[in-house]
């Protein structure tokens, strides 16, 4: 709980909801007849309406990127490190927009909301979303707010993929693209991890084919396992060694399957608390969107050709200990951009914290963002 709101915080914020009656045609062939997008904004849109930043969230993120919802909040929004007055994404200068993606579970239309055509909760009937669909829905939000061009579109991980898609699909709608800890498409290993996570959920007896809402249960075990597995891939070997080592909970081995090592306790806690704040159908949908992302696949010559039509200036950032989306994956993006003769800068941040590093404080990372954003 913040005793008082820090001076460099955007302060107390309230999510907004925008309703859309225009049907949204999806890559999967289905149509979402109408939908709500929940989003937050920080700062003020200027008279020329050209100071807006769009933030795209990652797999388990949401619209709450900065500030606090109430004085009782334990933690601020997920990117409070960098968004706020005087910070890299300076809310004195910029108007920040961060929506909850469709298919999410934090208020935007998704599996846990009511299907207007049936009056029942969507559940597993909610269509599978792709990164391209999210970008199209964000474009509708952009139009309804009345923004002609984003000063920058920014995102980490799955959010970074949305940034790439924005630059490809709406080249003249953004001036800068900040792609952080992302990849141009998933590797077989990445898809493998996602598949194990999905199987954990799908095989939970309380999943009920995705209709668990009607049974007043949640696939607690499955979603918890999915998150425990995911969490390991977001950390690095070094970070886990430093944080837990082989430390024991009780100081001695008990020769049974109870929690003994601290890392077990930590992962169980992380998994369990995730179940309280996240929806299993959303998790399935988000991992599928990750698996399907491959913007180069639509072009004969791959990613470089896909990016050759972009107009934005790119900043790509990777973290040395990130093995989920390693620096080599970011370099693929950079290579495609240089091959396509686009404007790009690339920085590799030394960090021991794995994929999660993109959310954590780091002085070089902050310097990079500050330096770059000063010219946006």
Q: Which chain residues interact with another protein by CB under 8 A?
A: 313, 315, 331, 334-335, 338-339, 341, 343-348, 364, 367-368, 371-372, 374-375
List the catalytic residue out of 133, 204, 355, 356: 355
Q: How far is the CB of 343 from another protein (least distance, A)?
A: 5
Measured on CA atoms in the order 135, 141, 143, 146, is the torsion positive or negative? negative
Backbone angles phi, psi at 39, to 5 degrees: -150, 165
Q: Which is nearer to another protein, 267 or 349 (CB)?
A: 349
Q: Which is nearer to another protein, 243 or 309 (CB)?
A: 309
Q: Which is nearer to another protein, 74 or 375 (CB)?
A: 375
Q: How far is the CB of 368 from another protein (least distance, A)?
A: 6
List the catalytic residue out of 176, 322, 351, 356: 322
Would residue 355 show up in a list of annotated catalytic residues for this protein?
Answer: yes
Q: Contact 65/83 with Cβ under 8 angstroms?
A: yes
Q: How far is the CB of 81 from another protein (least distance, A)?
A: 17
Q: How far is the CB of 314 from another protein (least distance, A)?
A: 9
Residue with tokens 């004195």: 92
List the catalytic residue out of 9, 60, 108, 157: 157
Would residue 231 show up in a list of annotated catalytic residues for this protein?
Answer: no
Looking at the chain, how many residues does it have?
Answer: 376
Q: Which is nearer to another protein, 242 or 371 (CB)?
A: 371
Tell me how far apart the alpha carbons of residues 29 and 211 are, in angstroms, rounded to a whole number: 23
Q: How far is the CB of 161 from another protein (least distance, A)?
A: 21
Torsion of CA 302, 304, 309, 314, to 10 degrees: 130
Q: How far is the CB of 316 from another protein (least distance, A)?
A: 9
Q: Which is nearer to another protein, 249 or 345 (CB)?
A: 345
Would residue 137 show up in a list of annotated catalytic residues for this protein?
Answer: no
Backbone angles phi, psi at 233, to 5 degrees: -75, -15
Q: Which is nearer to another protein, 46 or 341 (CB)?
A: 341
The catalytic residue positions are 157, 322, 355
């Amino acid at each position: 709980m913040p005793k008082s709101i820090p001076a460099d915080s955007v302060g107390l914020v309230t999510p907004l909801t925008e309703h859309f009656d225009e049907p949204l045609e999806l890559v999967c062939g289905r149509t979402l007849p109408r939908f709500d997008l929940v989003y937050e904004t920080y700062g003020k849109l200027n008279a020329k309406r050209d100071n807006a930043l769009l933030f795209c969230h990652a797999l388990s993120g949401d619209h709450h990127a900065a500030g606090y919802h109430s004085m009782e909040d334990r933690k601020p929004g997920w990117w409070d490190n960098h968004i706020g007055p005087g910070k890299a994404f300076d809310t004195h200068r910029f108007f920040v927009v961060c929506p909850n993606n469709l298919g999410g579970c934090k208020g935007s239309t998704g599996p846990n909301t009511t299907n207007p055509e049936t009056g029942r909760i969507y559940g597993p009937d909610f269509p599978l979303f792709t990164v391209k669909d999210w970008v199209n829905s964000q474009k509708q939000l952009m139009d309804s707010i009345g923004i002609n061009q984003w000063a920058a579109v920014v995102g980490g991980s799955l959010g970074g993929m949305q940034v790439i898609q924005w630059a490809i699909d709406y080249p003249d709608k953004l001036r800068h693209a900040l792609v952080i800890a992302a990849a141009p498409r998933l590797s077989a290993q990445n898809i493998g991890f996602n598949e194990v996570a999905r199987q954990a959920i799908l095989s939970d007896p309380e999943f009920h084919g995705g209709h668990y809402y009607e049974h007043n249960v949640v696939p607690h075990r499955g979603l918890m396992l999915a998150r425990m597995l995911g969490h390991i891939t977001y950390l690095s070997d070094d970070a886990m060694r430093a944080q837990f080592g082989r430390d024991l909970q009780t100081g001695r081995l008990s020769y049974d399957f109870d929690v003994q090592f601290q890392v077990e306790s930590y992962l169980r806690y992380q998994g369990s608390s995730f179940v309280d704040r996240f929806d299993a159908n959303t998790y399935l949908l988000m991992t599928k969107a990750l698996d399907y992302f491959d913007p180069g696949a639509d072009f004969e010559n791959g990613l470089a050709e896909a990016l050759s039509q972009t107009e934005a200036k790119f900043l790509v950032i990777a973290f040395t200990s990130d093995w989920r989306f390693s620096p080599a994956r970011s370099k693929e993006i950079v290579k495609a951009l240089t091959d396509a003769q686009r404007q790009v800068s690339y920085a590799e941040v030394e960090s021991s914290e794995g994929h999660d590093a993109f959310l954590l404080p780091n002085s070089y990372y902050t310097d990079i963002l500050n330096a770059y954003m000063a010219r946006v």
